[in-house]
Chains A and B, each alone.
Chain A
Amino acid sequence: DQQVKQNSPSLSVQEGRISILNCDYTNSMFDYFLWYKKYPAEGPTFLISISSIKDKNEDGRFTVFLNKSAKHLSLHIVPSQPGDSAVYFCAATPNTGNQFYFGTGTSLTVIP
C-alpha cells in the first residue's frame, strides 16, 4: 500500500525555468514532510522539510508547499540549474513516527 505517491516518474525542464515536483499522500496522520535528493550510486540527501502547521517553507531556490486538505505537497525549484538533475523523493512521517514513508521518486533533468 503506497501511502506516498509521486505520479510523475520523470520531468525535464530548461535551465533557468521553474521545476515543480508533486507528491500526494493518503495517510491523514502524516504531519511532517520532507524532500530528499538522490544522485546515482549515492544515498539520499536531505533537501527541505515542512511541518503540517505550515503551508509553505522556503530555503533559497527551493520552496515546499503543503495543501493539507488535498493531501498534496509540491517542491518548487527556481531557477533550475543543471546540477539539480537528480531523483527527488518525497517522504512523510507521523509526529511520533519511527520511519519515513517514501514516494517512488521523480527523476528531474535540467537541460542547459
Chain B
Amino acid sequence: NAGVMQNPRHLVRRRGQEARLRCSPMKGHSHVYWYRQLPEEGLKFMVYLQKENIIDESGMPKERFSAEFPKEGPSILRIQQVVRGDSAAYFCASSPLKYVTEAFFGQGTRLTVV
C-alpha cells in the first residue's frame, strides 16, 4: 500500500509564475489536508478537502491560493503569481476518517520562489 505521494519534490518558480503541487492520497483515503511549513516554524493548516468538496479552507490565504480534489486524480494546490514569501515546504496528508485522529503525510514539496 503506497503512502501519500507528492510531486514534485522540489519546485522552483520565478516571481509571478504559477505553482501547481500534486498530492495522491493513500489508497482508500478520501480526506486530504494541505499544510505549509515556513522556515523555523511548525506546520500550519491550509485546507481540508474530500472528493470534489472543500470542507475547510480557513487556513488558506484569501488571494492567489486555491485547492481542489477532483473525483479522479490527485489533489492540486495551486498558487498563482507566486511571491518570495510563498517559499516553503508544502505537505499533504490523508486520512480514512472524517474527523482526523491520525493522518499520514507525504514527503512534501519544497517550493522556492526566485
Q: Which one of B11-19, B69-77, B78-86, B101-109 contacts A? A: B101-109
CA–CA, A105 and B39, complex, Å: 12
Residue of B35, B56, B110 near A98 (CB, 8 A) is B56
- Size class of the contact patch on chain A: 20 to 34
B99 touches A49 (CB 8 A): no
Contacting residues, chain B, for A36 (C-beta < 8 A): 105
B28 part of interface (Cβ distance < 8 Å)? no
Q: Give chain A nearest CB distance to B106 CB in angstroms.
A: 5
B108 touches A99 (CB 8 A): no
Q: Which residue of A lies closest to B40 (CB)?
A: A104
Q: Which one of A11-19, A37-45, A59-67 contacts B? A: A37-45
B101 touches A99 (CB 8 A): no
Contacting residues, chain B, for A104 (C-beta < 8 A): 40-42
Q: Say whether, besides A44-B43, A89-B43, A99 and B100 are in contact (CB < 8 Å).
A: yes
B114 part of interface (Cβ distance < 8 Å)? no
- With contacts defined as CB atoms under 8 Å apart, how many contacts are there between chain A and chain B in the complex? 63
Q: Is the interface of A mostly helix, strand, loop or mixed?
A: loop
Q: Give chain A nearest CB distance to B47 CB in angstroms.
A: 9
Residue of B6, B33, B105 near A99 (CB, 8 A) is B33
A32 touches B45 (CB 8 A): no
A43 touches B56 (CB 8 A): no
Interface 1/0 per residue, A2-28 and B, CB below 8 Å: 001010000000000000000000000
A105 touches B107 (CB 8 A): no
B56 touches A49 (CB 8 A): no
CA–CA, A14 and B93, complex, Å: 33
Contacting residues, chain B, for A32 (C-beta < 8 A): 101
Which B residues are closer than 8 A to A by beta carbons? 4, 6, 33, 35, 40-45, 48, 55-56, 59, 91, 93, 99-108, 110
User: Which 9 A-B pairs rank lowest in CB-CB distance, beginning with the nearest?
Assistant: A43-B105, A99-B45, A102-B42, A98-B56, A104-B42, A102-B43, A98-B48, A43-B107, A44-B105
